[in-house]
Amino acid sequence: MNARQTLGRAAEDAAARHLQERGWRLLARNVRIGRGELDIIARRGPVLAFVEVKARRTGTCGTPEDAVDPRKRRQIARLAELWLSARPWALAGVSDVRFDIVAVDAGSVPCRVRHLPAAFTCDG
């Protein structure tokens, strides 16, 4: 595992902890579908969220949410649809399906975590 992967792993752990502390139940982590990956799939009450985790060591390269560009958004949306179509039961009791971003600022200790609900939709 190289340094970048280590950072990503640590950020995902921090994000997962952050979500769990706030009442989210994690349904799956690091779901690989084809060449893509969904970082975290979580559920809280009637809300099902596909969470993309973005880590940043410094603030010099823009915010973490900026790093989820339109191409990445489309990819996540497509993977989510595939995941859902294989598990129709996952929508039982669900009213809202969201694409969230959890931004992890790894430059500070302990790392700062920000949760952006409904950061984007299938159409941008």
Partner 1 sequence: MLARIASEALSGLEGHPVEVEADVVAAAPAFSIVGLPDAAVQESRERVRAAIVNSAFQFPSRRITVNLAPADLRKQGPSFDLPIALAFLVATGQATDGCDGRGRIAAVGELGLDGSLRPVAGALALAQSLRRRGVRGLLLPAANAAEASLVPGLEVYPGRTLAEAVVQLAAGGGEAAPPADLRALLRGGPGDGPDLSDIAGQHLAKRALEIAVAGAHNILMTGPPGAGKTMLARRIPGIMPPLTAAEAIEVTRIFSVAGLLPPEMPLVTRRPFRAPHHTVSSVGLVGGGGTPRPGEVSLAHLGVLFLDEFPEFRLSALEALRQPLEDGEITISRRLTSLTFPARIMLVAAMNPCPCGYLGDREHECTCPAHRVRQYAARLSGPLLDRIDLRIDVPRVAPRDRRDPAPAEASAEVRARVVRARDAQLRRLQGTGAYANAHMAPRDVRRLCRVQRDGIALLDRAYDRLRLSARACDRLVKVAQTIADLAGTETIDAGHISESLSYRARGAGES
Interacting residues with partner 1 between 36 and 75 (CB under 8 A):
47-48
Among 45, 66, 94, 112, binds partner 1 (CB under 8 A): 94
Cβ 98 vs Cβ 117: under 8 Å: yes
Among 13, 27, 77, 115, binds partner 1 (CB under 8 A): 77
Cβ 14 vs Cβ 3: under 8 Å: no
- In the shown chain, the binding pattern of residues 95 to 124 toward partner 1, with x for contact by CB under 8 A and - for none, equals xxxxx------------------x--xxx-
What six digits make up the tokens of 39?
């970082």
At 114, the amino acid letter reads: R
Under rule CB under 8 A, residue 26 binds partner 1: no
Smallest separation (angstroms) from partner 1 to the CB of 54: 19
- Please, which residues bridge with residue 36 across strands? 33
Q: What is the DSSP letter of 63?
A: -
